[in-house]
């Protein structure tokens, strides 16, 4: 090992508490030190070049090493490195970014509230929907319905809105007044569910019916909003059945409830439209955004606010006591603005829709025949592989085998960052990936699967179908 790597690892172990990390395990294994990146590749301190199949954390949409973004930051740092927009002040980068975002968003969205992250965006959305109903003279409409296994961030409100049991089991009680309904996870909870014989379409409608049942149980008069990601990302790249969103829209149309669509992952081209809501024809009242807004180059998020809510807030007068020191930070805003310009002039979103998304779909689907793979799904540039011990029954591996983590680690050895969520492997590469790089990504994923199959077949767990290619 390179001495520099050893030193970084020692300092890291001694001083750095990482997010979402088992520090005991990390201390034993040592961190991988990432030193630089270009295009779709990251480089580690040992000189390895790795295809970043996750675009960092679903955010580096434009890829690494874009000098235009660095220059936009440097220029703004020289001009005005910081000022706030509290107390009736503003500055050009935030104003221009707000205007630009509203031209990209669905027509009924004409205002933006800036935050520093996706979690803060969801905190803002939660406070805003509750405040909205209070202003409307209906202060009892405070309940928010979210989904099981959703991810809306890691602040107390983000964790509470999210439906991830391990997160909710730590750090004490979350924000009250949030309830969860089933997720549209066909592979995991539909297809092989107990005694179930239904189609993805019927399952999608069943999930929407569960939302309606929850509204009736809680009482429409108590429900402020329903919040959901267009495609659940961190939950396992869960692409809902085609019937799901139309059925959800039909339910919401029957009740006076706000719709919050968390676009933190799906926004800025991931599904081949500027926003996931446009892919699914949704008209959200609020859209939390972050990540791809700046391609992850600087931290910035926000909430796109539809006219119904924005005009109520404005017309009611009085202050909304909410905001962050770095809301609309000028340097982050300048970088985000340049990022949007590049996405637009380079037709990145259209390319995902018309070329790269369909190409990934075809190549990714070729992994479905692998003995370890129960399902290979993708939409735009997000994809998942479901690992199974038995393809016919969808039987999973024993949890103790940690098949997902094994595949993830082998994938890294094969030169590809994939992420594992249980026994689901997920990808979300930079939107500037080429067709050749997609071929490389799929070849590396296959190599990891082959090696995992070899190792897992040494256990009595399988894989029990087919031959390791």
Binding site for ligand PLP (CB under 6 A): 57, 117-119, 122, 151-153, 158, 229, 233-234, 262, 264-265, 290, 301
Backbone Cα Rg of the chain:
22
What gap in Å lies between CA 101 and CA 94, rounded to an integer? Answer: 10
Beta carbons of 293 and 121 less than 8 angstroms apart: no
Query: Which is closer to ligand PLP, CB of 236 or CB of 463?
Result: 236
DSSP 107-122: TTEEEEEEESSHHHHH
Q: How far is the CB of 194 from ligand PLP (least distance, A)?
A: 29
Helices (H) and strands (E) in the chain, counts: 17, 15
Q: How far is the CB of 409 from ligand PLP (least distance, A)?
A: 21
> SS3 helix, strand, coil % of the chain, rounded to 5?
45, 15, 40
Q: Which residue has the tokens 């492997």?
A: 425
Query: Which is closer to ligand PLP, CB of 76 or CB of 124?
Result: 124
Q: How far is the CB of 119 from ligand PLP (least distance, A)?
A: 3
Helices (H), 320-467: 330-345, 348-351, 357-365, 403-413, 435-456
Query: Which is closer to ligand PLP, CB of 178 or CB of 265?
Result: 265
Query: Which is closer to ligand PLP, CB of 236 or CB of 357?
Result: 236
Give burial (CB, 10 Å; 0-12/13-18/19+) of 273.
buried
Q: Which two tokens stand for residue 436?
A: 């050749």
Q: How far is the CB of 331 from ligand PLP (least distance, A)?
A: 17
Query: Which is closer to ligand PLP, CB of 288 or CB of 415?
Result: 288
Beta carbons of 386 and 189 less than 8 angstroms apart: no
Query: Which is closer to ligand PLP, CB of 215 or CB of 264?
Result: 264
What gap in Å lies between CA 51 and CA 434, rounded to an integer? Answer: 12
The residue number whose beta carbon is nearest to ligand PLP equals 118
Neighbour count for residue 342 (Cβ, 10 Å)? 18
Q: How far is the CB of 311 from ligand PLP (least distance, A)?
A: 26
Query: Which is closer to ligand PLP, CB of 101 or CB of 290?
Result: 290
Query: Which is closer to ligand PLP, CB of 118 or CB of 284?
Result: 118
Query: Which is closer to ligand PLP, CB of 57 or CB of 402?
Result: 57
Q: How far is the CB of 118 from ligand PLP (least distance, A)?
A: 2
CA 47 to the chain's CA centroid = 29
What gap in Å lies between CA 114 and CA 34, rounded to an integer? Answer: 30
Beta carbons of 295 and 60 less than 8 angstroms apart: yes
Q: How far is the CB of 57 from ligand PLP (least distance, A)?
A: 6
**Four-residue CA torsion sign, 124, 127, 128, 129:** positive
Beta carbons of 210 and 145 less than 8 angstroms apart: no
Q: How far is the CB of 355 from ligand PLP (least distance, A)?
A: 25
Q: How far is the CB of 212 from ligand PLP (least distance, A)?
A: 24
């Amino acid at each position: 090992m390179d001495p520099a790597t050893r030193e970084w690892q020692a300092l890291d172990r001694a001083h750095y508490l990482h997010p979402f990390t088992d520090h005991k395990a990390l201390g034993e294994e040592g961190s991988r030190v990432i030193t630089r990146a270009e295009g779709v590749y990251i480089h580690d301190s040992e000189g390895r070049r790795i295809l970043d199949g996750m675009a960092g954390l679903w955010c580096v949409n434009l890829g690494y090493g874009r000098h235009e973004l660095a220059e936009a930051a440097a220029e703004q740092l020289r001009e005005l490195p910081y000022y706030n927009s509290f107390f009736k002040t503003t500055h050009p980068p935030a104003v221009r970014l707000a205007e630009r975002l509203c031209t990209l968003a669905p027509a009924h969205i004409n205002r933006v509230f800036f935050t520093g992250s996706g979690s803060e965006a969801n905190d803002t959305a939660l406070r805003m929907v509750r405040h909205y109903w209070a202003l409307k003279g209906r202060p009892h409409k405070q309940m928010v319905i979210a989904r099981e296994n959703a991810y809306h961030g890691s602040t107390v409100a983000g964790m509470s809105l999210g439906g991830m049991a391990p997160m909710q089991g730590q750090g004490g009680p979350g924000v009250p007044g949030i309830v969860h309904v089933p997720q549209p996870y066909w592979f995991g909870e539909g297809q092989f569910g107990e005694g179930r014989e239904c189609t993805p379409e019927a399952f999608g409608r069943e999930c929407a019916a569960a939302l309606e049942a929850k509204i009736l149980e809680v009482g429409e008069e108590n429900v402020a909003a329903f919040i959901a990601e267009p495609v659940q990302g961190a939950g396992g790249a869960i692409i809902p059945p085609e019937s799901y969103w139309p059925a959800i829209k039909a339910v919401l149309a029957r009740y006076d409830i706000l719709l919050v669509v968390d676009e933190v992952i799906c926004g800025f081209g991931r599904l081949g439209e500027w926003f996931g809501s446009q892919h699914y024809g949704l008209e959200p009242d609020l859209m939390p955004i972050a990540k791809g807004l700046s391609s992850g180059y600087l931290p910035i998020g926000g909430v796109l606010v539809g006219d119904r809510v924005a005009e109520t807030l404005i017309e009611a007068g009085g202050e909304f006591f909410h905001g962050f020191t770095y809301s609309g930070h000028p340097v982050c805003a300048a970088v985000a603005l340049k990022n949007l310009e590049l996405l637009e002039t380079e037709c990145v979103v259209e390319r995902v829709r018309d070329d790269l998304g369909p190409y990934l779909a075809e190549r990714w689907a070729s992994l479905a025949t692998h003995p370890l793979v129960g399902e290979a799904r993708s939409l735009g540039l997000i994809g998942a592989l479901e690992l199974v011990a038995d393809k016919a029954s969808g039987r999973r591996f024993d949890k103790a085998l940690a098949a997902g983590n094994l595949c993830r680690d082998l994938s890294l050895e094969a030169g590809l960052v994939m992420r594992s969520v249980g026994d689901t492997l997920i990808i979300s590469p930079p939107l500037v990936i080429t067709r050749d790089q997609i071929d490389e990504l799929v070849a590396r994923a296959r190599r990891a699967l082959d090696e995992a199959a070899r190792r897992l077949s040494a256990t009595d767990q399988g894989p029990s179908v087919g031959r390791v290619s």
